[in-house]
Chain A
Amino acid sequence: MPLDAMQDVSDEALLVLFANGEPAAARALTLRLTPKAFGHAVRLLGNRAEAEDVAQEALLRLWRVAPEWRQGEAKVTTWLYRVVANLCTDRLRRSGRGLALDAIPEPEDEARGPLDKMQAEARADALQVALDGLPDRQRQAVVLRHIEGMANPEIAEIMEISVDAVESLTARGKRALSAALEGRREELGYADDG
C-alpha cells in the first residue's frame, strides 16, 4: 500500500494494520508519531539525546502493544504522550534535576529576518530554561496545553487527572513562567514589543 494512501487513515486503524504485518503502516506510524514523541520528550527533559532514547522506547512499547490494542478505548496519541511523560519522569527522578539545555534545532524560516529569528530562538530557549524549573506535573500540563495545543479534557486523559486539576496546574505553571521570564524582558526583546 503506498504511503500517501494512508494520509487519511486514523492512527488507530494504522495500528491494526501494523499488527497485521502491513509494512506501509509501520512507515506511516513512524513518520507520524516519532516527531510527536520526540518533541514532547525534548520539552519535558530539555535534552535531545535523552529525548531520542525516550521516543524510541515509547514507540517500541507501542509496536509491542499493537496486537492487543482495543479499538475505541483510547487514542494512540493519548497513550503515547502518557508513556513519553512517564518515561521522562522516571529519567528525571533517576538523574535528578539540573539537566543541560541542548541546542534545540530551529526550522528554517526564510520569511523572517535574521534578527527576528535570533530573537525567537532566544525566547524559545529562555522558555525551555523556565520550563525546566517547573515541577514535573506543571511542566507537562503547560507543554501539552500551550505548546502542543491540546484541549484540557485530552490533557486530563493523558495525565489521568481531572480537568479542574489540569486548569490548576497550567495556571500555576504560567504564573511561575511569567515570573521566571520577568527578569529577562529586555534581553529577550519584550520591551521593544510594547
Chain B
Amino acid sequence: MQMTDKHKHGGELEAAFDAARSSRPEPSSDLMARVLADAQSVQAQKRAAPAAPAPRGYLRQLLEALGGWPAVAGLSAAGVAGVWLGLGPMAGVSDTVANYLGVSVPPVYSVDVMPGAELGLAWEEGAL
C-alpha cells in the first residue's frame, strides 16, 4: 500500500469515528426512570437502616478480648510477680532454668533485694 493510500484510509477511519461520535446512542426515558428508581430505592434503604454503631477503639477491643477488667487485674498481678521473680529469683528457679537452657546463669541476673537480711539472721543466731 502506498503512503497516499494509507493517508486516505486513515481519513476514512477518522470519518467513521466522526460519524460514530455524532450518532451517540442516547438512553431511553424508560432506562433513565429505572436507574433513578434504583438510586432512590438505595437511598431509602439507607435511611431505613439503623445507624451503624460507632467504631470501637483498639484499647477497648483489646480489653474485651482479654475478658474485661477482672482479667486485666489478674494479668497485672502475674506481671508484678514475674518482675519480682526476675529481679530476685529463688536458687531452685535459677538452677532449673540454667539446666533447661544448658548454660550458667550470669550473676548479674541475681539481685539480692534485701542484702542485710542474712547478716541480721546471723547476728541473731550469734546473740543466742
Do A and B originate from a single complex? yes
Bin chain A's interface residue count.
Answer: 35 or more
Report if A136 contacts B (CB, 8 A): no
Report if B25 contacts A (CB, 8 A): yes
Residues of A contacting B: mostly = helix
CB contacts under 8 Å to A, within B76-125, are: none
Q: Smallest CB–CB gap between B8 and chain A, Å? A: 8
Residues of B contacting A: mostly = helix
A residues lining the B interface (CB < 8 Å) = 18-19, 21, 23, 26-27, 29-31, 34-35, 38-39, 42-43, 48, 51-52, 55-56, 59-60, 63-64, 66-67, 104-107, 109, 120-121, 123-124, 126-128, 130, 146-147, 149, 174, 177-178, 181-182, 185, 188, 190, 193
| 11 examples of A-B residue contacts, CB within 8 angstroms | A18-B39, A26-B43, A34-B27, A56-B31, A59-B38, A107-B22, A121-B19, A123-B15, A127-B16, A149-B21, A190-B12
Q: What 17 new A-B contacts, CB under 8 Å, besides A104-B23, A120-B23? A: A18-B43, A23-B40, A35-B24, A39-B24, A39-B26, A51-B25, A52-B31, A55-B31, A55-B35, A60-B42, A63-B43, A67-B46, A121-B23, A127-B19, A147-B21, A178-B10, A193-B11
